[in-house]
Amino acid sequence: MNHQPYLEWIFSDGEIGLDRLNQQQRYEFDQHLNSCSSCRSLFSAWHATEVYLQNQSLISPKPGFTSRWKLRLEEDRKLFHRRQTKVTLAVSIGGSLLLLVLLFLLTWPWLRSPSLLVWTWIYNIFIMYSYVGLVNEIIVRVIQSATFVIPITWLIILIGILSELGVLWIVSYRLLTNPRRITR
Amino acid sequence: MSNELPRQEIHNKEAEWLIEAQKGETNAFTYLVELYQKPVYSLCYRMLGNAEDAEDAAQETFMRAYKAIRRYDNKRPFSTWLLSIAAHHCIDQIRRRRFPIISVEELPFPELSEPSPGLETILVSNEEKNRIRSLLNVLEPLDRATVVLYYWYEFSYQEISELLSLSLSAVKSRLHRARRAMAENWIQIQPKFEQLDFNSNKSGCNENFLMERITP
């Protein structure tokens, strides 16, 4: 005996459920139930189960659910802050350690031979001194050429005008940028 | 009409609370917790079968919803979104369980210090819980979620498919399979519960019934 279509009707709803059977199908279904105890048993069991399920109402939680949720939220926030602090600390310590390692690697050759470090510094100071001397020589040359082209009197007047313009610029800059004092 | 007005008011308030909650207002979200605690808890209870786990899962659901509220799409109903979080969380919880957990409330010891509900009431209530649990326990987590959402929340196939990320045909076939499994289970468990009901209905048999329940 093929039970499949009848089981399909029993356990489906909507388009293929028992509600949508035509008269012929309904007759066949009833005939089958009369002759098949297994399908009859399943049919009545499902009917009872469905009624039972539909009679069950929603369940409420214990009183104070929202308060407990607020507490949990607070705990969660604290945990989050704690975790954030730990992460920040770990990143800082990790970064510092990494920088220390890099610094160590950079200074390692110097630490191994301090004389090299001393000689490097002496060399740097010598180079700097050479540069200062060069700049000094250039300035002297420029002044010498200027006095050769322009007479000394004109040069003094020019420097005087430039100085006065400089002072004027500083005074106007201060007046423009300083906030005005509000008095009552 | 009198029922419609508060419902409309609640709907409007809910929309306001949602907007506020999305801006980071914790108090607004607390109102939503107050409003939805029962459906969320009930879903968790039906899925997990005991009060402790249900409480924990419901709390976790609201926590996840709170953290993800900015990503919530206002076009979707909030209840569907929230119950979807709850259902998925409960499904994960059931899958993670390796061993069956027996809750304290499942033990047949009624609270003797509280005389108001009566021993019989407590025992009958526990029997009801056990019967529902026995019915649902035979189902796979996803089938269980489908049954719970269909019978207790009256969601349509379409809504369930969206909520559980399943196809429409998958929802139908899961419901079909679940109904058959529950009917077969009902045939097995019903005689036991009928016997218990009969015993509990006998007058003057409460003590014997209690002893029978407590005796291993």
Q: Which tens digit of pLDDT belongs to each residue from B11-70?
A: 788 888 999 999 989 999 999 999 999 999 999 999 998 899 999 999 999 999 999 999
For residue B104, pLDDT over 60 is answered with no
Across chain B, what does the average pLDDT equal? 80
Q: Which two tokens stand for residue B75?
A: 């076009």
Q: Enumerate residues 6+ apart whose C-beta is below 8 A from B85.
A: B61, B64, B65, B68
User: Residue range B170-178: average pLDDT?
Assistant: 92
* Contact assignment for A62 to B34 by CB distance below 8 Å: no
Distance (Å, whole) CA B135 – CA B129: 10
pLDDT in tens, A46-92: 888 888 888 888 889 999 999 999 999 999 999 999 999 999 999 99
Which residues, in sequence order, are CB contacts of A7 under 8 Å at separation 6+?
Answer: A39, A42, B180
Contact A49 B132 (CB under 8 A): no
Instruction: Judge whether residue A34 has pLDDT over 50.
Output: yes
Three-class SS state of A184: coil
The average pLDDT across A101-120 equals 82
Instruction: Mark which residues 91-110 of B lie under 8 Å from A by CB.
Output: none
For residues B33 and A16, which has the higher predicted lDDT (pLDDT)? B33
- pLDDT number for residue B214: 38
pLDDT of B107 higher than 50: no
Q: ∠ CA(B36), CA(B39), CA(B43), 5° rounding?
A: 135
B201 has a pLDDT exceeding 60: no
Task: Tell me which amino acid residue A19 is.
Answer: D
Predicted confidence band of residue B212 (pLDDT cuts 50, 70, 90): very low
Query: In chain A, what are the domain boundaries?
Result: 4-55, 65-112, 114-184
Give the pLDDT confidence score for residue A3 in this predicted structure: 78
Q: Helices B119-137 and B206-214 sit at what angle, rounded to 10 degrees?
A: 40
In the prediction, which pLDDT does A152 show?
79
Which pLDDT value is given to residue A146?
79
Residue B99 pLDDT exceeds 70: no
Confidence at residue B120, expressed as pLDDT on a 0 to 100 scale: 61
| Stretch among A22-26, B15-19, B89-93, B116-120 having the lowest mean pLDDT | B116-120
pLDDT for residue B32? 94
- Do B82 and B61 touch, CB atoms closer than 8 A? yes
Please give the structure tokens belonging to residue B7.
């419902």
* Rounded-to-integer distance, Cα B196 and Cα A44, Å: 21
Integer Cα distance of A92 and A84 in angstroms: 12
Is the CB of residue A63 less than 8 Å away from at least one CB of chain B? no
In chain B, what percentage of residues exceed pLDDT 90? 50
Q: Does A7 touch chain B (CB under 8 A)?
A: yes
Q: Do B37 and A61 touch (CB under 8 A)?
A: yes
| Contact call for residues A68 and B154 (beta carbons, < 8 A) | no
| Three-class secondary structure of residue B168 per DSSP | helix
Q: Is 80 exceeded by the pLDDT of residue B85?
A: yes
Task: Using a cut of 0.80, tell me whether the model's pTM lies above it.
Answer: no
pLDDT value at A1 more than 70: no
| Long-range contacts formed by A150-155: CB under 8 A, 24+ apart | none
B193 contact A CB<8A:
no
Residue type, B189: I
Residue range B143-168, pLDDT digits in tens: 999 999 999 888 999 999 999 999 99
Measure CA A54 to chain center.
49
Q: Looking at the predicted structure, is the pLDDT value of residue B114 above 70? A: no
- Taking the CA atoms of B172, B177, B181 and B184 in sequence, report the sign of the dihedral they define: positive
Burial class (CB in 10 A: 0-12, 13-18, 19+), B138: middle
pLDDT at position A57 is: 85
